[in-house]
Amino acid sequence: MSFKKYLMEDEEVLSYCGTDYWIWVCTDRRVMKYRQGSGTAEQLHDISYEEITSISLVNTGRDDKLGGYAVFSLVLGGIASVWGSSAVPFALAGVITAYLLWRWRNSEHSYFEFKGSGVINSDEEEWRIDNKNADNPDEIREFTKTVRSQL
């Protein structure tokens, strides 16, 4: 793993996990997030344990706008069918409604968020590990447990 070249000489990796975009690394001194970009571009961010005060699991809930759009689509399709004396608009609205309801049902997700001082406060979204982008959600839970044990 390419992040190893950024470790200090006697720094020990305790845990790591991956998402679509980042490799998160917990060492005996800090938390790092590393990304290999296209070509030779790399990104690395790190924070010391002194800057982290807590880790929260945040659940976003479902996006109720999608459910509202689904109902609106079905009603609009029904009105268009009655007005035009054809079942085609209602059938099309049914397909759109089914898709929107599926999106609504799957819109809920959660993420772990590091809270604290310094750089964490300046860019809170930078220090979130989103479960829906996880290579392995169990790995993320174990990673956050390891970080908590270092606080």
Which runs of E-coded beta strand occur in the chain?
13-18, 23-27, 30-36, 42-48, 52-59, 110-116, 128-130
Sign of CA dihedral 113, 115, 118, 124: positive
Q: Residue 60's pLDDT is what?
A: 81
Tell me which of 28 and 84 has the higher pLDDT. Answer: 28
pLDDT at 65 over 80: yes
Per-residue pLDDT at 34 = 93
Any idea of the CA torsion for 57, 46, 116, 126, to the nearest 10 degrees? -60
Q: Which residues pair with 112 in a beta bridge?
A: 57, 129
pLDDT tens digits, 13-62 = 999 998 888 899 999 999 999 988 766 688 888 999 998 988 888 888 88
pLDDT in tens, 94-145: 888 888 888 888 877 788 888 887 777 666 678 888 877 777 888 888 999 9
Does the pLDDT at position 11 exceed 90? yes
CA 38 remoteness from chain centre? 22
Strands 23-27 and 52-59: unpaired
Q: Using CA atoms, how far apart are residues 145 and 148, in angstroms rounded to an integer?
A: 5
The one-letter amino acid at 61: G
pTM of the model: 0.70
